[in-house]
Structure 1
Amino acid sequence: MVFPKPNGSLHQIEKSIVETLRSSPRSSNPFLITERQGEKQLCIQSRSLRVTDFALLKTLGTGTFARVWLARLKDQKDKNKVYALKILRKADVIKLKQVEHVRNERKALAAVIDHPFITTLIASFSDDKSLYMLLDYCPGGEIFTYLRKQRRFSEETSRFYAAEITMTIEFLHDVHGIAYRDLKPENILLDADGHLKLVDFGFAKQVDNRETYTLCGTPEYLAPEVIQNSGHGLAVDWWALGILIYEFLIGQPPILGSKPYADL
């Protein structure tokens, strides 16, 4: 399998965009999505959308209480324009006690809507049974798929994606005080130009300089302080990045299993 080839000049442009975003003030405006859509001239208003407005083309992924569809607006002129529509069943979200995580995900995505390496939340809406998040579609698929087929990445490829992830984490931490808390290959997609997009912000939380005690994430990538429930902060993302870089170069995380730190 061949990677989408990253465009070097585009990378420099995106880097300058990130630097500009880092100097932007933090916003907690609940109407941020609508305002940003106006700036980008998107003709989608969250309050007016319904799931019946979309043609659901195929399933992109499934989870415990959510399914992601490749979708297209039925009445749009450009039939090639598609989106990723995440559908979360309200009953399952409540039953599995994921209300706070879903709320945190939407809040985090609304805050970082302009970042080039983070999936874009275009709109969100709901009905009696489900919650919906309309996201940009990444045709490159999961970086996990490429890693498993190639077994390991070259040092050059690993360095390139590690740099983009570093810029993304730094932006989340420094600009918004958000801990991502679920960094792993399955949550990194590739866009049409070969650049990464961080997705699935279900465990993301604004912590700033405080500590939080929620046990969440994927075992192989968890920092010791998360396992020990001793309180954790933004630093857990840097631990996970170290694990991820090791996996890029070697082909698997350094510690495997559902209890990777059983001796701690």
Structure 2
Amino acid sequence: MEVTLPVRLLAAQDHAAVTRLLDARPAAGAFVADRLDHYGWHRGAGRLYGYSRGGELVAVCLSGANLVPVGTDADAMDAFTGMVRREGRQCSSIVGDAEAVLRLWSGLRPYWGAARAVRERQPLLWADRPAAIAPDPFVRRCRPKDITAVFPAAVAMYTEEVGVSPLHDRSSAAAYRDRLSSLIAAGRSYARIDDGRVVFKAEIAVLTRHTAQIQGVWVAPEFRGQGLAAPCVAAVINDALGRHAPSVSLYVNDFNIPATRAYERCGMRQVGELATVLF
């Protein structure tokens, strides 16, 4: 008699079941889908665990540099918590469905200690039609030569958002620059550059057949409060819909009211809520 464990390491033979689960959550499951598309089943992005009930896969959890649960089944999250606790902390963040992340974190915190930051409410926004406002005509896809101007802006955005610099050691700095260069080469980095200065920038950091997920949205501090963000994001939305995917998504901290209003002006609507725990 074959015994199916509730939590197990998934592999290529589980591809169809994983795809069904992620397809049902095209925005919340985008990061995991992107990693599977990029790395396949070679574990380059980490190990993918699954929780099944009655022979059906009901939740997955990617364990690597990021711990990413997909699905909100309470029993699954408790089982994943036990699995991750036995492994020990290997991630720099937990990110995913808010309900799942916060349940995981409540079980892990007694063993892992305090986090550097916990963002409990991050509205997950979605658009599947062109922006509701006119796009900024000066926003364009970055070219390889733009890396010199865009890289410092990306570092500033990351440091402001995450609370630490991505340049904390030489290997991290090189990896961060390489990642940005690869997005530029793929036509997934956008900026408005005025006289050599980056006024606005953003990237499509996650891409699946369902959605282009925008991250790294940043307006230079001296240009904030002037209404630039919404038209610039509108330009990214329109290009992404035309060239990359049938929808655009992103998530934003609930306390970032100006950004939330800019995305709403573009016509984005909330379709879920994520949470992030940073270490």
Q: Give the TM-score taking structure 1 as reference length.
A: 0.26
- Higher relative CO (Cα under 8 Å, sequence separation at least 6) belongs to 2
Higher strand share: 2
Q: Give the TM-score taking structure 2 as reference length.
A: 0.25
